[in-house]
A = this chain, B = another copy of it.
Amino acid sequence: MLRTQVRTQLSWSLKRLSSSSAKLSLKDINPYVIEAKYAVRGKIPARAEELKLQMQENPKSVPFDKIIFSNIGNPQQLGQKPITYYRKVLSLLQDPSLLQLLKQADCPSYLKSQYPSDVLSRAERMLNDIGLSVGAYSSSQGIKGFRDSVAAFISERDGFKADPNDIFLTGGASSAVNYVLQILCNGRKTGVLIPIPQYPLYTATLALNDCNAVPYYLKEEDGWSLDCDSIKKIIKGQTDEGIKVNCMVVINPGNPTGAILTKEKMVDIINVCNENGLVLISDEVYQENCYQGDFISMRKVLKELQEEHKGKYDNVQLVSLHSTSKGVSGECGQRGGYMEILGFSDELRAVFTKLCSISLCSVVTGQALVDLMVQPPKKGDASYNLDQQERKEIFDALKERSLKLWETFNRLDGIECQKPEGAMYLFPKLNLSEKAIATAEKKGLKPDEFYCLELLEKTGICTVPGSGFGQLPGTWHLRTTFLPPGTEWIKHWENFHKDFIKKY
């Protein structure tokens, strides 16, 4: 008898002796948790992690020398440097004794020279806003002084005054999405319009809340734009089926598409929401990542409409999201973000506050980072020049690599890609042959999954199949960031792609 068989039999007889009940299995738990999917950290990235471990043990077992994590917008994982000003201030917030040291008259110039004067005054102002310590829970809505900073930033950006009481500081934008959708999901008869392709946080959160994700397809051939007439038809169709659509999600700049909405489209969207009583969630976490012109917020467009047509747009309810994880900050691990809620009644605002209070508060250093992001050093401040230079370098590198990757794709057969306008992603279409599709099927994979897996196994480049974001049936895509530095990996991808097309 084999040793493993013996062991199995032994443990089986022990179980029979026991008076304990059976363990929980999948069938015993919340089915919506099982249903929820999040491909950005799904099958392909999981295989990449396996390969990484395998390489540590046996570097020669794979045909590449490193994994390129292009599956997730995680800039600092790929070596992007944090903004110096942010980190110096955060470092002082964590250790105010260093701030005291720096403020002493006899502090050596050697040390003092490392801390520009505006870093010290900023840390001092922020500690004052915080009260005593970043280690204390803040109010659930977030520290008032930081919300003032956000309101000032929004006012300046849009030319319409913002109110700090409309701002909620949250753990990244993810937790804001969670709060809003949890509030809006009123059972199985509720529908939330989401773009397809979309960032899978939305479908996952709707699945967790047992609520209908109502897809509206973005038009790839039209630069991933959207068509409000077809959205109206979708709402009517849902209503006929007894589903009350109460919310529309827009991601602008787009994730995974990289597209930016025109102002005209934004007016259309606001009209659809206004006419149909939909809460509009405008996910604007990539607002600093606009590579072709300035960002226009949904809020600004709404405020202009409200100004032009007195009374007509008073009932629009808008939730705008922002984050410290993207832009040129890329501070993903610090979990900073905010949502601004406009047009909600006081009783609903109280519900938002209560829901936030159940998890007490978002991390205070993340809240501080929001303050730093929205109010960077100004002209004349000691840190201004370095800060501007760092921002410009990061922005230019992103823009340049986005174009480089886009040009590469469009030079190749079997892959085509819309011109990148914003965000951190390209979402090229894979024109796969019948042979490729058949091979994928034989392996039990979706065709885009098959391409991404082959790309990973051959080059170490980790991407996410389009099926993780949703796509028009019969089309295949993938999402890749353009974050990895250098262009060598793009060359490797190009070579892989040519081989793949030749083989399939």
Contact = CB atoms under 8 A, between A and B. Distances in A.
Contacts of A132: 76-77, 79
Contact of A20 (B90, B315, B365): B315
Contacts of A279: 24
Given A18-B315, A77-B133, 10 more contacts: A11-B311, A17-B311, A20-B314, A21-B275, A26-B351, A28-B246, A36-B355, A37-B354, A91-B92, A174-B359
Given A101-B114, A355-B33, A82 B334 contact: no
Interface in A25-77: 25-26, 28-31, 33-34, 36-38, 40-41, 49, 72, 74-77
A22 interface: yes
B133 A76 contact: yes
B333 A30 contact: no
Contacts of A257: none
Interface of A: 11, 14-15, 17-26, 28-31, 33-34, 36-38, 40-41, 49, 72, 74-77, 79, 82, 84, 87-88, 90-92, 94-95, 97-98, 101, 108, 110-111, 114, 131-140, 171-172, 174-175, 178, 182-187, 201, 204-205, 208-209, 246, 274-277, 279, 310-317, 325, 330-335, 343-345, 347-348, 351, 354-355, 357-366
A402 to B, nearest CB: 20
A28 B192 CA distance: 13
27 contacts: A14-B310, A14-B314, A19-B274, A22-B315, A23-B277, A25-B347, A30-B185, A30-B209, A33-B183, A41-B360, A72-B137, A77-B132, A84-B97, A91-B95, A91-B98, A94-B94, A101-B114, A108-B110, A111-B111, A135-B334, A137-B333, A172-B360, A174-B359, A182-B208, A332-B360, A333-B365, A334-B363
B36 A312 contact: no
Contacts of A182: 30, 33, 208
A310 B10 CA distance: 11
A242 to B, nearest CB: 15
A416 B135 CA distance: 33
A245 to B, nearest CB: 11
Contacts of A360: 41, 172, 174, 332
Nearest to A77: B136
Nearest to A133: B76
B18 A317 contact: no
Nearest to A331: B135
A14 to B, nearest CB: 3
Given A311-B17, A343-B23, A171 B363 contact: yes
A79 B136 CA distance: 9
Contact of A363 (B184, B333, B348): B333
A87 to B, nearest CB: 5
B277 A333 contact: no
A175 B343 CA distance: 29
A183 B29 contact: yes
A333 B316 contact: no
Given A131-B77, A317-B24, A33 B332 contact: no
A186 B17 CA distance: 30
Ranked 4 nearest A-B pairs via Cβ? A21-B277, A14-B311, A91-B95, A333-B364
A82 B430 CA distance: 54
A34 B333 CA distance: 31
A17 B38 CA distance: 44
A40 B36 CA distance: 31
A322 to B, nearest CB: 16
A95 B101 contact: no
A365 B362 CA distance: 13
